[in-house]
Amino acid sequence: MRSSNPVLGRAFNQRGYAAFDPSTINSDPAALENLYNTPAASSMRTGRMTIDDVVARTGILFAVLVAVGAAAWTLNLGATAMMVGLFGGLALAMVNIFSKTVKPALAMAYAAFEGLALGTISHIYNDAYQGIVSQAVIVTICAFTGMLFAYKSGRIRVTPKFTKVLMTAMLGYLVLALVGFIGSMFGSSIYSTGGFGLLIAAGGMVLASFFLILDFDQIQKGVAAGLPEAESWRAAFGLMVTIVWLYMEVLRLLSILRGND
């Protein structure tokens, strides 16, 4: 079971899980029942990752992010705190992504740094456009809910072609984002507020939304494959990375649209 998700792939493609093949147990009904009917209730511990585990860990990480973000918002810490949060979060994200072992403390530290960055950034945006943060939160929640429904209902299925298209789109997005960043460094506002900036923000929002589908699929496959319970931290971390990305793209898109009014 290979994973195309750059965050969750470390969990699913290492320590032998890549060799998982459902066909090897098709002839054993008892093995199938044991694999696919793993108890989800926290009181029935099996040592394997469950959906409940992922939900609980995700809740913990977002509690840390919101708490730190609320403090950063209230204190209005400014650009220095924002940069500390951004670069600290980036560094910890790289550590968590490439670590061979699950480190819950580092995942929570990442959430804290992201909270510092998002709280400060959100305060800056809200000063410029009153109410934009609440709008961005609502849109993010709606996008998450919509993608979860689309995945669970089977309206969107993860296929090799679907994954390939997303990865190709990601490369294009990164190239355009780099061009925009370089352009903004030379003082060209079109790369951040004009049609180009609108294209990047809208594309990023759509791309992040569809990456949620990959997250849901890999989490479900991880549960089916019987990954260790500790891997639920990595799954929660991967989901948080995508949601934070989605929120930032929504916030940027709304700011461009409101700035053009």
Q: What is the pLDDT of residue 184?
A: 63
Q: What is the pLDDT of residue 77?
A: 86
CA-nearest of 3, 232, 204, 206 to 102 is 232
DSSP for 35-78 reads HHT---STTS--SB--HHHHHHHHHHHHHHHHHHHHHHHHHT--
8 CB-contact burial (10 Å; exposed 0-12 / middle 13-18 / buried 19+): buried
Q: Are 40 and 51 in contact (CB under 8 A)?
A: yes
Q: What is the pLDDT of residue 194?
A: 61
Q: For the segment 37-52, what is each residue's pLDDT rounded down to a tens digit? A: 444 444 345 689 999 9
Q: What is the pLDDT of residue 108?
A: 96
Low-confidence ranges of the chain (pLDDT < 70): 1-46, 181, 183-194, 260-261
Q: What is the CB neighbour count within 10 angstroms for residue 64?
A: 20
Q: Which residues pair with 48 in a beta bridge?
A: 228
Q: Which residues pair with 228 in a beta bridge?
A: 48
Helices (H), 13-159: 29-36, 51-75, 79-98, 104-128, 132-152
CA angle, residues 87, 243, 115, in degrees to nearest 5: 45
DSSP for 168-197 reads HHHHHHHHHHHHHHHHHHTT-THHHHSHHH
- Interacting residues of 184 by C-beta distance below 8 A, sequence separation 6+: 191, 192
Name the token pair of 17. Answer: 């899980």
